[in-house]
Amino acid sequence: MASNEITMPKLSDTMEEGKIIRWLKRPGDAVARGEALADVETDKADMVLEAFEDGVLGEIKLKEGESAPVGAVIAVMKGAGEAAPASREKPAAEAQSAGDGARIEADAEAEDTPAPEGPEFHPAMGANLAAGATAMARPPRLAAVKSQAEPAPRTDEPKLKASPLARRAAEEAGIDLAQVRGTGPDGRITKRDLDSYVREQQMFRVRRLVSPDKGAPGSHEELSRMRKTIANRMAASKREIPHFYVTVEIDMEEAVRLKSSLEQSELFDQDITYNDIIVKGTALALGRYPRINSSYENDGITIRPQINIGVAVAVEDGLIVPVIKDCGRLSLPEIARKSHLLVGKAAHGGFTTDELSGATFTISNMGMLGIEHFAAVINPPQAAILAVSAIKDRPVVREGKLAVGKTMMVTLSCDHRIVDGVVAGRFLQELKRFLENPATLLVQI
Amino acid sequence: MAGLKYDLAVIGSGPGGYVAAIRASQLKMKVAVVERDRPGGVCLNWGCIPSKALLDSAETMESIRGAGKEHGIQTGEVSVDFKRVIARSREAADKLARGVLFLFRKNKIDYFEANATVSSPHTITLAQAEGKKAPAAAAIEAERILIATGSGERLFPGMTPGDGLLTSREALVYDRLPESVIVIGAGAVGLEFGYFYRAFGAGVTIVELEKQMLPGFDAEIAEELRRAFVKRGTTVMLGHAYKSIARRDGRLAVTIEAVAGGAAQTIEAEVVLVAVGRRPLSPGMGLEKIGAEVERGGFIKIDDSFQTTCRGVYAIGDVVRPPLLAHKASAEGIAAVEIMAGVRQPGFDLLSIAGCIYCQPEVATVGLSEAEARAQGIEVKVGKIPFRAIGKAVATNRVEGFVKIVAGRQYREVLGCQIIGHGATDLISEVVLGRTLEATTAEFGKTVHPHPTLSEAIMEAALAAQDEAIIV
- Using a CB–CB cut-off of 8 Å, the residues of A that contact B are 163-166, 168-169, 172, 183, 190-191, 298, 304-306, 325-326, 357-358
Q: Are strands A55-60 and A30-31 parallel, antiparallel or unpaired?
A: antiparallel
| Cβ-based neighbours of B105, under 8 Å, separated by 6 or more | none
In the CATH hierarchy, which fold is given to the domain comprising B165-276?
Answer: FAD/NAD(P)-binding domain (3.50.50)
SS3 B381: strand
> What pTM did the predictor assign?
0.64
CB contact (8 A) between residue A190 and residue B442: no
User: What distance in Å separates the CA atoms of residue A284 and residue A306, rounded to the nearest whole number?
Assistant: 12
Please say whether the dihedral angle defined by the alpha carbons of residues A53, A58, A61 and A64, taken in this order, is positive or negative.
positive
CATH number of B2-45+87-152+279-351: 3.50.50.60
- Using a CB–CB cut-off of 8 Å, the residues of B that contact A are 345, 377, 379, 410-413, 437-440, 442-443, 467
A337-A341-A342-A347 Cα dihedral, nearest 10 degrees? 140
Mean pLDDT of B132-158: 94
Give the pLDDT confidence score for residue A98 in this predicted structure. 37
Q: Give the chain B residue whose CA is nearest to the CA of A168.
A: B411
Mean pLDDT of B282-297: 94
Å between B23 CA and nearest CA of chain A: 19
Which H or E element spans position B313? Answer: strand B313-315
What distances in angstroms separate CA B278 from CA A347, B150, B207, B318, B325, one per listed residue? Answer: 51, 10, 17, 9, 11
Q: Which of A164, A298, A306 is the closest to B442 by Cβ? A: A164
| Cβ-based neighbours of B347, under 8 Å, separated by 6 or more | B304
Tell me which of 4.10.320.10, 1.10.3720.10, 2.30.30.700, 3.40.50.10490 is the CATH number of domain A162-225. 4.10.320.10
Q: Which of B249, B222, B61, B98 is nearest to B164 (CA)?
A: B249
Burial of B453 (0-12, 13-18, 19+ CB in 10 A): middle
**Residues of B forming the active site:** 451
Please say whether the dihedral angle defined by the alpha carbons of residues A344, A349, A352 and A358, taken in this order, is positive or negative.
positive
User: What distance in Å separates the CA atoms of residue B207 and residue B181, rounded to the nearest whole number?
Assistant: 11
| Contacts with B413 from chain A: Cβ below 8 Å | 165, 168, 191
| Contacts with B377 from chain A: Cβ below 8 Å | 306, 325-326
CB contact (8 A) between residue B467 and residue A298: yes
Q: Which of B164, B191, B178, B35 is nearest to B100 (CA)?
A: B35
User: What distance in Å separates the CA atoms of residue A240 and residue A243, rounded to the nearest whole number?
Assistant: 9
Model confidence pLDDT, tens digit, residues A352-398: 777 888 899 999 988 888 889 999 999 988 999 999 999 999 998 88
Model confidence pLDDT, tens digit, residues B236-253: 999 999 999 999 988 999
Q: Would you list the domain boundaries of chain B?
A: 2-45+87-152+279-351, 165-276, 361-465
CATH number of A4-82: 2.40.50.100
| Contacts with A325 from chain B: Cβ below 8 Å | 377
* Chain-centroid distance, C-alpha A175: 9
| Contacts with A334 from chain B: Cβ below 8 Å | none
Residue B230 pLDDT > 90:
yes
With pLDDT > 70 as the criterion, what percentage of chain B qualifies?
Answer: 99
Per the prediction, chain B carries an average pLDDT of: 95
Å between B374 CA and nearest CA of chain A: 10
Model confidence pLDDT, tens digit, residues B51-74: 999 999 999 999 999 899 999 999
CB contact (8 A) between residue A304 and residue B437: no
What distances in angstroms separate CA A351 from CA A22, A167, A307, A308, one per listed residue? Answer: 19, 18, 20, 16
Give the pLDDT confidence score for residue A262 in this predicted structure. 85
Q: Which of B444, B452, B398, B453 is nearest to B421 (CA)?
A: B398
Q: Which of A168, A298, A306 is the closest to B440 by Cβ? A: A168
| Cβ-based neighbours of B54, under 8 Å, separated by 6 or more | B85, B86, B89, B172, B196
| Contacts with A172 from chain B: Cβ below 8 Å | 410-411
CATH 4.10.320.10 residue ranges for chain A: 162-225
Looking at residue B361, its amino acid is P
Query: Using an 8 Å Cβ cutoff, are B393 and B387 in contact?
Result: yes
- Give every residue of chain A whose pLDDT is below 50, as ranges: 1, 81-157, 203-212
DSSP letter string over A87-125? HHHHHHHHHHHHHTTHHHHHHHHTTTSPPP--TT--GGG
| Cβ-based neighbours of B316, under 8 Å, separated by 6 or more | B16, B20, B146, B147, B148, B302, B306, B329, B332, B333, B335, B336
Query: Using an 8 Å Cβ cutoff, are B128 and B114 in contact?
Result: yes
A122, A243, A340, A416: the active-site residue: A416
Model confidence pLDDT, tens digit, residues B70-90: 999 999 899 999 999 999 999
- Tell me the sheet residues that pair with B382: B406
Give the pLDDT confidence score for residue A4 in this predicted structure. 75
- Tell me the sheet residues that pair with B362: B421
Q: Give the chain A residue whose CA is nearest to the CA of B345.
A: A183
Query: A386 — phi, psi (to 5°)?
Result: -105, 125
| Contacts with A357 from chain B: Cβ below 8 Å | 410
Looking at residue B380, its amino acid is V
Best interface-test mutation with A: which of B380, B411, B447 has the largest number of A CBs within 10 A? B411
How many other C-beta atoms are found inside a 10 Å radius of the C-beta of residue B162?
8
The most distant pair of C-alpha atoms in chain B lies apart, rounded to whole Å, by 70
Query: Using an 8 Å Cβ cutoff, are B419 and B353 in contact?
Result: no
CB contact (8 A) between residue B443 and residue A164: yes
User: What distance in Å separates the CA atoms of residue B309 and residue B319, rounded to the nearest whole number?
Assistant: 14
How many other C-beta atoms are found inside a 10 Å radius of the C-beta of residue A7?
15
User: What distance in Å separates the CA atoms of residue A174 and residue A158, rounded to the nearest whole number?
Assistant: 18
Identify which has the larger pLDDT, B226 or A57.
Answer: B226
Query: Using an 8 Å Cβ cutoff, are A102 and A145 in contact?
Result: yes
CB contact (8 A) between residue B438 and residue A190: yes
Which H or E element spans position A67? Answer: strand A67-69
User: What distance in Å separates the CA atoms of residue B148 and residue B306, rounded to the nearest whole number?
Assistant: 11
Q: B282-298 burial, b for 16+ CB within 10 Å, e for fewer?
A: beebebeebebebeeee
Tell me which of 3.30.559.10, 3.90.1580.10, 1.10.150.570, 3.30.1330.40 is the CATH number of domain A228-442. 3.30.559.10
CATH 3.30.559.10 residue ranges for chain A: 228-442
Q: Give the chain A residue whose CA is nearest to the CA of B415.
A: A165
Tell me which of 3.30.390.30, 3.40.50.2020, 2.60.40.10, 3.40.190.10 is the CATH number of domain B361-465. 3.30.390.30
Burial of B28 (0-12, 13-18, 19+ CB in 10 A): exposed
Report the complex ipTM: 0.74
User: What distance in Å separates the CA atoms of residue B16 and residue B147, rounded to the nearest whole number?
Assistant: 9
Q: Give the chain A residue whose CA is nearest to the CA of B468.
A: A298
Model confidence pLDDT, tens digit, residues B157-207: 889 998 899 999 999 999 999 999 999 999 999 999 999 999 999 999 999
CB contact (8 A) between residue B439 and residue A165: yes
Q: Which of A165, A172, A325 is the closest to B377 by Cβ? A: A325
- Tell me the sheet residues that pair with B181: B204, B271
Q: Which of A163, A172, A304 is the closest to B437 by Cβ? A: A163
Looking at residue A393, its amino acid is D
DSSP-derived secondary structure letter, A357? S
Q: Which of B109, B123, B131, B169 is nearest to B36 (CA)?
A: B131
Q: Which of A321, A323, A322, A287 is nearest to A305 (CA)?
A: A287
Q: B178-195 burial, b for 16+ CB within 10 Å, e for fewer?
A: bebbbbbbbbbbbbbbbb
Instruction: Indicate if B165-276 has the same CATH topology as B2-45+87-152+279-351.
Output: yes
Establish, for the pair of chains A and B, how many residue pairs have beta carbons separated by less than 8 Å.
36
User: What distance in Å separates the CA atoms of residue B36 and residue B16, rounded to the nearest whole number?
Assistant: 15
CB contact (8 A) between residue A305 and residue B345: no
Q: Which of A164, A326, A358 is the closest to B438 by Cβ? A: A164
User: What distance in Å separates the CA atoms of residue B219 and residue B418, rounded to the nearest whole number?
Assistant: 10
SS3 B243: strand
Query: Using an 8 Å Cβ cutoff, are B458 and B449 in contact?
Result: yes
User: What distance in Å separates the CA atoms of residue A285 and residue A279, rounded to the nearest whole number?
Assistant: 10
| Three-state secondary structure readout of B123-152 | EEEEECCCCCCCCCCCEEEEEEEEECCCEE
DSSP letter string over A368-412? GGT---------TTBSEEEEEEEEEEEEEEETTEEEEEEEEEEEE
Residue B14 pLDDT > 90:
yes
CB contact (8 A) between residue B379 and residue A304: yes
Q: B314-342 burial, b for 16+ CB within 10 Å, e for fewer?
A: bbbbbbbbbebbbbbbbbbbbbbbbbbbe
User: What distance in Å separates the CA atoms of residue B70 and residue A40, rounded to the nearest whole number?
Assistant: 75
Q: Which of A164, A172, A305 is the closest to B440 by Cβ? A: A164
CATH 2.40.50.100 residue ranges for chain A: 4-82
Q: Give the chain A residue whose CA is nearest to the CA of B376.
A: A326
- Tell me the sheet residues that pair with B240: B258
Q: Which of B268, B276, B265 is nearest to B247 (CA)?
A: B268
| Cβ-based neighbours of B471, under 8 Å, separated by 6 or more | B385, B389, B390, B460
